[in-house]
Amino acid sequence: MILNSDISVPAGSAGPADPSDGRGMAARGLLRSRLSCQAFDPRATLSRAAIEGLIGAAVQAPSAFNLQNWRFVVAHSPNSRSRLKPAAYGQEKITDAAAVVIVVGIEPVSDAFSALMNRDEEDGRLPASERERLDRQIGRSYSDPCAGKAEAIRSASLAAMTLLLAAEADGIAACPMSGFDPAEVARAFALAAGETPVLLVALGRNADPAQVQKQRRPVSAVSSFA
């Protein structure tokens, strides 16, 4: 936990939010305890409400211009997980898990993303003036397709990490999987042009309660200060 001495502000101004309310400690424990489930109990099932709860957390992730350029396609039924499995090189976790969330990133310059903004306008979430401003920002920032693709991967990954931590908070075992053929996943689940499957998140119940987190490199090996 951070010490009060770690953030220094001039006398007279308010200090940082007090992390000693227990929330900070609890959250830090969560970050430490999360692990990528290596074997799911194939008998466990997961309700649609529970999965929607995790997606509700995932959409709290940040994104450039608050674009929220992501979508969540849930392979929930045994049939749809069987359909997904060959695109994930036959990994057993796909069918052993209770559900697999395909976290999809959307390129900001694409019909798919325009459709999302159209719906925002129709539903009254996006005033026309704001839409024009957003269209200009998107045109300026993502005219290079590489930048658009990078933003799709970045946004979807930020959302996926939030989903993983929400699962840990809710007592649901989860495993992020990047071992899949993006084109095959896109085909099997009819993703639109400009939509990229970024990560599969398998959800369910850990068959091995004794599993421990893999080791990490020390901070000193991966950080430098300038």
Helix H or strand E segment including 193: none
Task: Report the residue number, 18 or 193, with the smaller CB distance to a copy of itself.
Answer: 18
Note whether 71 and 106 are within 8 A (CB). Answer: yes
Task: Report the residue number, 34 or 131, with the smaller CB distance to a copy of itself.
Answer: 34
Task: Report the residue number, 31 or 132, with the smaller CB distance to a copy of itself.
Answer: 31
The least CB distance from residue 217 to a copy of itself, in Å, is: 6
Question: Applying CB under 8 A, does 122 fall inside the site for a copy of itself?
Answer: no
Map residues 50-89 to x or -, x wherever contact with a copy of itself holds by CB under 8 A. xxxx-xxx-xxxx-x-x-x-xxxxxxxx--x--x------
The least CB distance from residue 28 to a copy of itself, in Å, is: 5
Strand pairing partners for 40? Answer: 206
3-state class (DSSP) for residue 72: strand
Note whether 181 and 89 are within 8 A (CB). Answer: yes
The least CB distance from residue 85 to a copy of itself, in Å, is: 13
DSSP string for 21-35:
GTHHHHHHHHHHH--
Q: How many residues does the chain have?
A: 226
The least CB distance from residue 132 to a copy of itself, in Å, is: 18
Task: Report the residue number, 89 or 92, with the smaller CB distance to a copy of itself.
Answer: 89
CA distances from 184 to 35, 72, 75, 82, 85 (A): 27, 17, 14, 13, 10
Number of residues that bind a copy of itself (CB under 8 A): 106
The least CB distance from residue 125 to a copy of itself, in Å, is: 7
CA dist 89 and 48 (Å) reads: 26
Structure tokens at 80: 């749809």
3-state class (DSSP) for residue 177: strand
CA dist 155 and 153 (Å) reads: 6
Task: Report the residue number, 132 or 213, with the smaller CB distance to a copy of itself.
Answer: 213
Contacting residue, 193, 210, 212, 217, with a copy of itself by CB under 8 A: 217
Map residues 177-206 to x or -, x wherever contact with a copy of itself holds by CB under 8 A. -xx---------x--------xx----xx-
Question: At residue 149, what are phi and psi to the nearest 5 degrees?
Answer: -65, -45
- Give residues 153-182 in contact with a copy of itself (rule: CB under 8 A): 153-154, 157-158, 160-162, 164-166, 168-173, 176, 178-179
Question: Applying CB under 8 A, does 22 fall inside the site for a copy of itself?
Answer: yes
Note whether 81 and 94 are within 8 A (CB). Answer: yes
Question: Applying CB under 8 A, does 143 fall inside the site for a copy of itself?
Answer: no
